Amino acid sequence: PPEVILSPGKNRTVECKAIAGRPAAQIFWAPEGDCVTGKEYQDNGTVTTRSRCHYPDGNVSTVTCLVSHLTGNRSQSTDLLPDSSSSCLDGQQMALPPMEVTTSLSVQMGTKVVLYCPCIPLTRVLITTWRIRFRNKPSCKIAHDRETNQTIETNCVDRRITWASRPDQSPHLQIYATAITHDGYFRCQMATYHGNFRRGYHLQVLGLGTPESPGSTLLIILYAKLSLLVVILVMVGFAFFQWINDCRE
């Protein structure tokens, strides 16, 4: 199976690579954009499929790369970076983004997701904080102080949610293999001398729940016990009537 990598680029472009598949994987996009797709054939018989898309429509904010392969289908979603993304991670001057931006994002269970902070040069940021309010489990908080270069985590025990080892260089959050338990609200807040800037995501994970909720599990157990009780009563009733018939004979 291929390794899938999805990377947003400058000027509302994004590239998806299905690396070293055998046979070659196919790449589709949702929504469709202005895309160019090609294949690179390796000496070992594997093929890397590469697709680069441009989305000039400013109404498109989130795109999904769909990779089709004989070993199974995969998908990854990402936000498009703004046109000024080339200066997000350096000290160049740029207009500050809106104080708060919120995006609704729906993904299939098992999808890898990258969530982005506001587009601000990190040299201006004092503290970066991710606050996560899950629907069915305790909230999580991750904060990084640039001056002391210290990271503090609270209730963040889900190892599928990862932050870069150097959050002063990459403040974005990644979720490997999303699950139903990742349903919730994710917000990145960047504190600067000019104020606090936030970017939030209402994340909805589509698919069957794993693990099941305690209520669902209890109902299943009760149903199984009830079914077993009915079977036992039928067997006992049949044996009783058989005994009655034997006595009469």
pLDDT tens digits, 148-189: 888 888 888 888 888 764 555 678 888 888 889 899 999 999
Preceding omega of 82 cis (within 30 degrees of 0): no
More confident residue, 90 or 100: 100
Query: What is the C-alpha separation between 200 and 187, in angstroms, rounded?
Result: 4
The pLDDT score that the predictor gives to residue 52 is 92
User: In this structure, are 149 and 73 located in the same domain?
Assistant: no
The domain that contains 16 carries what CATH number?
2.60.40.10
Examine residue 187 and state whether it is found in any structural domain, yes or no. yes
Examine residue 172 and state whether it is found in any structural domain, yes or no. yes
Residue with tokens 């606050």: 131
User: In this structure, are 170 and 107 located in the same domain?
Assistant: yes
User: In this structure, are 117 and 172 located in the same domain?
Assistant: yes
Q: Are 121 and 88 in contact (CB under 8 A)?
A: yes
* Least confident piece of the model among 86-100, 161-175, 185-199, 219-233: 86-100
User: In this structure, are 183 and 121 located in the same domain?
Assistant: yes
The pLDDT score that the predictor gives to residue 101 is 79
Q: Are 67 and 1 in contact (CB under 8 A)?
A: no
Mean pLDDT of the region 108-119: 84
The pLDDT score that the predictor gives to residue 97 is 65
User: In this structure, are 132 and 189 located in the same domain?
Assistant: yes
Examine residue 75 and state whether it is found in any structural domain, yes or no. yes
**Last residue of one domain, picked from the residues 188, 206, 224:** 206
Total structural domains within the chain:
2
**Last residue of one domain, picked from the residues 47, 79, 111:** 79
Question: Residue 24's closest CA among 71, 56, 58?
Answer: 71
Examine residue 41 and state whether it is found in any structural domain, yes or no. yes
User: In this structure, are 121 and 180 located in the same domain?
Assistant: yes
For residue 39, the SS3 value is: strand
- Where are any strands of DSSP class E within 55-194? 62-68, 74-79, 100-108, 112-115, 125-134, 140-145, 150-154, 161-163, 173-175, 184-192
The pLDDT score that the predictor gives to residue 79 is 81
For residue 222, the SS3 value is: helix
211-232 exposure pattern, b = at least 16 Cβ within 10 A, e = fewer:
eeeeeeeeeeeeeeeeeeeeee
Question: Residue 149's closest CA among 132, 131, 125, 130?
Answer: 125
User: In this structure, are 192 and 122 located in the same domain?
Assistant: yes
CA distances from residue 40 to 21, 24, 45, 186 in whole angstroms, order as listed: 10, 9, 10, 37
User: In this structure, are 108 and 196 located in the same domain?
Assistant: yes
Q: Is pLDDT of 68 > 90?
A: yes
| pLDDT band with cut points at 50, 70 and 90 for residue 209 | very low
More confident residue, 104 or 15: 15
Examine residue 215 and state whether it is found in any structural domain, yes or no. no
User: In this structure, are 114 and 27 located in the same domain?
Assistant: no
Q: What is the DSSP string of 161-212?
A: EEE-S-TTT---EEESS--GGG-EEEEEEEEETTEEEEEEEEEEEESS-SSP
User: In this structure, are 110 and 189 located in the same domain?
Assistant: yes
Domain span at residue 161?
102-206
User: In this structure, are 202 and 109 located in the same domain?
Assistant: yes
Q: Is pLDDT of 95 > 60?
A: no
Mean pLDDT of the region 196-207: 88
Pairing of strands 100-108, 195-206: parallel
The pLDDT score that the predictor gives to residue 249 is 67
Examine residue 249 and state whether it is found in any structural domain, yes or no. no
pLDDT tens digits, 9-53: 877 889 999 999 999 999 999 988 889 999 999 899 999 999 999
